[in-house]
Amino acid sequence: MENYSVLSLFSGCGGLDLGFQGGFTSLNNHYKRNPYNIIWANDIDANACQTYRKNLKHTIVCGDIRVIIAQQHNNLFDSPIPNSADIVLGGFPCQDFSQAGKRRGFESKRGTLYQAMSEVIKRTAPLVFLAENVKGLLTINNGSAMDQIINDFTALGYHISYKLLLTADFDVPQKRERVIIIGTRKDILPIFDFQQLLSGKSANWISLETAIGDLENSKEGDFINHYWSKAKKNKGQGNNAVSKNLPGPTMRAEHHGNIEFHWNNKRRLSAREAARIQSFPDDFIFYPSTSSAYKQIGNAVPPVFGWYLARSIYSFLQTNLSGASSENRNLQVSV
C-alpha cells in the first residue's frame, strides 16, 4: 500500500489530519490507519497548536501562513514549507463566509486566506488538494465568491469539483454542513467524482443519546475535558436544548459560552460532549482550557468525516495513477 505525503494548512487542533492519518476509535468504531504521512502542518492559534502536538505527536509550525510564505521567500524562515507534497489540505478560516456571521467574505483579511493556500499549491504541485468551508461560501456575493475561488484554483492547473456534504451521513452525530472542494492535477488525473464517497454514506444517523448519553450524569471533571460553560440562558443562538433522539447541531467556534444546553436542561454541553459530537476519540485531549477547547472543537473538521474523505481520495489515486511515473508526479504544474 503506497503512502502519500500530506501538507496541512489551517490545521487547527488536528481534526482533518487525524482523519487522514486514521488509526483511532470514535464511539466504539475503529477507523483503521490510512496510507498518508503528514510532512508539514501549520496553524496560527497557539492553543490549537499545543493540542495538535500533544495528540498527533507531530510538529506543527505555529504562525500566520502569509508571514511564513513571505519569510520563506526571503530565506528568513527556519521551518520551511516543503517543495513538494502529494496532498495539500486546508480548511481555510470560514467565519467570514458563515451564514451565522457577518458574511464579510473577501472584504476581510481572513476571507482571502484561501489565496495563501493557492500559493502553497502553486509551490508544491500536489496531486490533489482538499479545501473545506462552510455552506455560506456558496451564496455569499450571490455566488461570485465561490466562482472566484474556483477560477483561481483552476488557473493553477487543476480540475475542480465541489459538493455540499452533511457530516451526519458519515458516522458523525452532528448535522454539520460543509462544502468540500477537491482539486486534481489536469496533467495526470481526471476530475474527482464524489459518487464513490457518497456511496459510502451511513444508512442511519447517530443520535446524541448514543453519542453522549453515558456522560449525562457524570460529575464535572470526572472525565477528560468534561467541563461546561456556566453562561446563563438568554436569547439567541446556542440557548436551545439539544434533542437526544437526533444528531447534534453544528458545534460552533464563536459561541462565547453559549454552547447548546443538554437535553436535560440542567447545564450546557461539556467540551468533551462537544468533542464526541465532532467524532473526536475520548483519548484526544484539548489544551489548555475549556473555553479554548470549545473554540478548537468548533473550528475542527470532524475526524471521522475526514477519514471518509481520506479513504475516497486514496481510492481515487490508486485507480487513476497506475500510468503516472513518480517523475511526472513530482513535476511542477503548467499554468
Q: Grid coordinates in use for 270?
A: 461539556
How far is 304 from 30, CA to CA, in rounded Å? 10
Q: Grid coordinates in use for 212?
A: 453522549
Task: Please pick, among 13, 49, 62, 94, the residue that the annotation labels catalytic.
Answer: 94
CB atoms within 10 A of CB 83: 10
Q: Grid coordinates in use for 87?
A: 496532498
List all residues 6 or more positions away from 172 whose beta carbon is below 8 Å from its beta carbon: 206, 247, 277, 278, 279, 302, 304, 305
Q: Note the residue count of the chain.
A: 335
3-class secondary-structure state, position 299: helix
How far is 73 from 70, CA to CA, in rounded Å? 5
Question: Any catalytic annotation for residue 62?
Answer: no
What are the Cα distances from residue 217, in Å, to 146, 264, 267, 269? Answer: 45, 10, 11, 12
Q: How many CA atoms lie within 13 A of 93 on its CB side?
A: 24
How far is 72 from 69, CA to CA, in rounded Å? 5
The enclosing H or E element of 213 equals: none
| Residues designated catalytic | 94
